Structure 1
Amino acid sequence: MRHFPIFVALEGRRVVVSGAGECAVAKLRLILKTDATVAVYGSDPDPQVIAWAAEGKLRLTPRPIAEGDATCAVLVYGANEDAAEDARAVAIGRRAGALTNIVDNLADSQFITPAIVDRDPVTVAIGTEGAAPVVARDIKRRVEEMLPTSLGLLARIGQAFRPLADALPKGRVRRDFWSKFYFERGPRALEAGGEDAAREALDALLADTLSHDATPGHVSLIGAGPGDPELLTLKARRLVHEADVVIHDRLVGPGVLELARREAEVICVGKTGFGPSWKQADIDALIVEKALAGAKVARLKGGDPAVFGRLDEEIDALDAAGVTWDIVPGITTASAAAAAMGQSLTKRGRNASFRLLTGHDVKGFAEQDWRALAKPGAVAAIYMGRKAATFIRGRLMIHGGADTTPVTVIENATRADQRIVETTLLDLPETLDTQGLTGPVLMMLGLAPRSAAQAVHSLSPQLAEAL
């Protein structure tokens, strides 16, 4: 991020524009939406600039900018459409201590003006750092379609009401109060009876909220998918954003956690195979503690919470404490890994069943139906199998598994650093040792990548994405 997005307070402060032609007019249409004191310097001013000056919206000086004209200015724009004159103007501005911008000249500007969706006082700024203005305009159009024109009026009504709403406790109760006003009661009242009705609805909503007991906590047990945030369900995205507390395991990708609100408490309860880990009982106690305190908890689990996710233990703890919960399924890593390989988990004539296995359980290396898994055409996804690779190879080969049986190892499935490693049952342990796989891996027994998928993933992540 080369440009840090901020909103600058301009009420009563000077903004200077060097240039008074068509280029300046386009910039002034935006600047005049603010409460700044606007000064324009430029010969041969556009009629629109003259009209704005006559209406008292700006002060026009019909000559080029000179030394001292930018004194006390916060922002100075060069809008002359003349490179030399713009460079002279911003030099004057910088000597006066102002931030400077040359229209359509990113390299020589200290700040940029984003595309703006105006629902005053709600303002959405969209920037692409000059890389893709067309994209910014398209996003602007979409956001304008999403936000009703009445939103600004509701926001002003709410702004005046905020001191009264301070009687509500901070956190979820207050957020729920404002959500109900802006997205439910407020719009309905405004449409039915106008501004007065919206104010009355706000008074009634505050009275209702104060008269009710505190909202009880709730836990959503959410599948965070294999890592790519775009593979989250819409429901999961919404619940993560709404959560007061996000409790996640180490398999949840950083892109998913970015969806949480900045005010949310984010707690990692990661487990490491055969290494330092949170105890499940402690995780259960933490989830219950946060919910009983009234929080809306998002319990994020990599993949799908019902696949090797200790889901039942957490539900039992919540039930015992009288805490309500719901389950939000996610894409399990086996599905994502198969997609990355360009393969189907089942195929007519090859395998009529597909198994999900764990490499180890609470007793150690997990025993399976090795005879069935060793049959030609058998397909299985082996979770948490890195440490058990030698054990798995031995069991399968003892029961007749061919040493040439394909095994594909997928590390960090769906993430930018995803790796796909093709091997055989005979070479599986040695492959894991020599390939330097440090991230979470899933082993696909009986499946090899399609050649096209393998070729793409052998390229750099950037080139693979482009293909």
Structure 2
Amino acid sequence: MRHFPIFLNVVGRRIIVSGAGECAIAKLRLLLKTEAHIIVFGLEAEDQVRAWASTGKLTLVERALEIGDANGAAMLYAANEDDIEDARVAKIGHDAGALINIVDNLEDSEFITPAIVDRDPVTIAIGTEGAAPVLARRIKADIEERLPASLGILARIGQAFRGRADMLPQGRIRRDFWSRYYEGAGDAALQTGGEKAVNDALNDLLTDAIETRPREGHVSLIGTGPGDPELLTLKARRLLHEADVVLHDQLVPQAILELARREAIVIEVGKKGYGPSWKQDDINALMIKHAAKGAQVARLKSGDPAIFGRLDEELDALDEAAISFDIVPGITSASAAAATIGTSLTRRGRNSALRILTGREVEGFAEHDWRDLAKQDSVAAIYMGVRAAHFLRGRLLMHGAHSETPVTAIENVSRSDQKIISTTLAKLPDTLNAASITGPAIILYGLCPRDAVAASVTLEDAPELYSAGAL
């Protein structure tokens, strides 16, 4: 992040604009929404600038900016459309202690003006580090469509009510009060009865909050999917945002953790294959400790919590402690991996069943029905199976699997650093070793990427590919 976003208090302060042409007008349209004292320096001012000056919206000084003019100013815009003049006035402003923006000159500017969604007093600033102004405007338009025009009115009424709402204890009770107001009750009252009805609704909500006993602690066991934040369910996003405490696996990426509230306690309780891990009993105890204090806990698990996520162990602990819980499914890596390579996990005429295995628990892994898995129509999703690749190949070949059966491994499924490794059963261990896999990976036995099938299938090839499990 090159530019750190802040909101600068400019009430009663001077903002200088050097230049009075079209370039300056574009900035002035935004600056005139503030409560600052706007002073424009420039010769041959455009009619619009003169009109604003005639109504007292700004002060027009019809000459070039000179030393001393920027003293005490909060900001200075160099908008002369002349590089030499802009550099001159920028130095004057810098020496006077003002923040400097040279229009269309990112490198020499001390700040940039974002695209702004204005629902005063709600203001949303959108910046792209100057890299994509068109994209910023598109995002601005999307947000404006989603935010009702009434939002500013509700915010102003809510601001005036804050003194009364402060009688509620900080934390969950107060957040719930404001959530109910902004997530439906306030707008409904405004639509039916105007601003008076909104104040009445706030009073009713306050009474309810005072009389309602605090919420009991609760744990939501949430599947976060394979890593792409866009694959989260709406319920998962909501519960994550509402959580007081977030306990997450090591594989949950930062992009998902960013969706938690800034005030939330976020703790990594890592359980990662073949490395340092939290003990399950310690994770259980931590969940119970926070929930017992009344916290809303989001227990984030990579993928789906019900698939190799030790879900039952945590549920048993919560039951024993009499802590309420709910389970939010997530997209498991097998589904995401199949989508990534453009195929399905089941297909009529190919396989009517899917096996989900883990290569981590070697004893259980060895006890599978390998003869049945080795059949030509078998498909399996093997989690944490990279280190078990030699064992996997040996057992399958021993029980009659075709050596050319397609196998696809996907590392970091759905993430920006995703890697697809397509091979055959015979070459599986060597191919995985050569790929130097370091991230979480899933192996799809009996499946290959769709483009590989499309590139190779002919009428003559079909029987052989079918016998290898590709079709």
TM-score (norm 1): 0.91
Q: Secondary structure at the match of 1:75?
A: strand
Map of 1:378 onto structure 2: 378
**What is the CA-CA distance between 1:452 and the residue it aligns to?**
5.5
Equivalent positions of 1:102-117 (< 5 A) are 102-117=102-117
Map of 2:14 onto structure 1: 14
**What is the CA-CA distance between 1:388 and the residue it aligns to?**
2.5
**What is the CA-CA distance between 1:454 and the residue it aligns to?**
12
**What is the CA-CA distance between 1:250 and the residue it aligns to?**
1.8
CA contact (8 A) 1:341 1:454 kept: no
Q: Which amino acid aligns with 2:258?
A: E
**What is the CA-CA distance between 1:380 and the residue it aligns to?**
0.4
Unaligned runs of 5+ in 2: 456-471
Map of 1:418 onto structure 2: 418
CA contact (8 A) 1:365 1:391 kept: no
Map of 2:152 onto structure 1: 152
Map of 2:84 onto structure 1: 84
Deviates more, 1:98-107 or 1:412-421: 98-107
CA contact (8 A) 1:121 1:152 kept: yes
Q: Does 1:304 align with 2:304?
A: yes
Query: How many angstroms apart in 1 are the aligned matches of 2:98 and 2:213?
Result: 52
Query: How many angstroms apart in 1 are the aligned matches of 2:78 and 2:351?
Result: 69
Query: How many angstroms apart in 1 are the aligned matches of 2:380 and 2:349?
Result: 16
**What is the CA-CA distance between 1:223 and the residue it aligns to?**
1.3
Q: Does 1:231 align with 2:231?
A: yes
Deviates more, 1:131-140 or 1:297-306: 131-140
CA contact (8 A) 1:16 1:75 kept: yes
**What is the CA-CA distance between 1:404 and the residue it aligns to?**
3.1
Show CA shifts across 1:104-131 (max 9, x none).
3333322111111111111011122232
Map of 1:354 onto structure 2: 354
CA contact (8 A) 1:360 1:366 kept: no
Query: How many angstroms apart in 1 are the aligned matches of 2:107 and 2:381?
Result: 51
**Over the residues paired in the alignment, what is the CA RMSD in angstroms?**
2.2
Q: Which amino acid aligns with 1:369?
A: D
Query: How many angstroms apart in 1 are the aligned matches of 2:186 and 2:309?
Result: 41
Unaligned runs of 5+ in 1: 456-467
Map of 2:345 onto structure 1: 345
Q: Secondary structure at the match of 1:387?
A: helix
**What is the CA-CA distance between 1:41 and the residue it aligns to?**
0.8
**What is the CA-CA distance between 1:23 and the residue it aligns to?**
2.5
Q: Secondary structure at the match of 1:395?
A: helix
TM-score (norm 2): 0.90
Query: Percent of counterpart pairs with the same letter?
Result: 64
CA contact (8 A) 2:357 2:365 kept: no
Query: How many angstroms apart in 1 are the aligned matches of 2:315 and 2:89?
Result: 66
**What is the CA-CA distance between 1:324 and the residue it aligns to?**
2.4
Number of residue equivalences: 455
Query: How many angstroms apart in 2 are the aligned matches of 1:212 and 1:403?
Result: 66
Show CA shifts across 1:15-46 (max 9, x none).
10111233322211211211212211111223
Query: How many angstroms apart in 1 are the aligned matches of 2:215 and 2:302?
Result: 28
CA contact (8 A) 1:340 1:453 kept: no
Map of 2:468 onto structure 1: none
Show CA shifts across 1:294-350 (max 9, x none).
222221111111111112222222233332222222111011112222332223332
Seen in structure 2, the aligned counterparts of structure 1 residues 217 and 453 have a Cα distance that, compared at 3 Å, is farther
Show CA shifts across 1:246-304 (max 9, x none).
11112222222222122111111111224322222222222222222222222111111
Query: How many angstroms apart in 2 are the aligned matches of 1:269 and 1:381?
Result: 26
Q: Which amino acid aligns with 1:292?
A: A
Map of 1:459 onto structure 2: none
Query: How many angstroms apart in 2 are the aligned matches of 1:214 and 1:83?
Result: 62
Query: How many angstroms apart in 1 are the aligned matches of 2:78 and 2:138?
Result: 26
Seen in structure 2, the aligned counterparts of structure 1 residues 453 and 232 have a Cα distance that, compared at 3 Å, is farther
Query: How many angstroms apart in 2 are the aligned matches of 1:452 and 1:29?
Result: 56
Map of 1:324 onto structure 2: 324
Q: Which amino acid aligns with 2:151?
A: L
CA contact (8 A) 1:216 1:294 kept: yes
Map of 2:119 onto structure 1: 119
Map of 1:315 onto structure 2: 315
Map of 1:403 onto structure 2: 403
Q: Secondary structure at the match of 1:409?
A: strand
Query: How many angstroms apart in 2 are the aligned matches of 1:148 and 1:352?
Result: 49
Seen in structure 2, the aligned counterparts of structure 1 residues 453 and 187 have a Cα distance that, compared at 3 Å, is farther
CA contact (8 A) 2:383 2:441 kept: yes
Show CA shifts across 1:31-86 (max 9, x none).
12112122111112233323333333322211111111111111101122233322
Map of 1:464 onto structure 2: none
Map of 2:469 onto structure 1: none
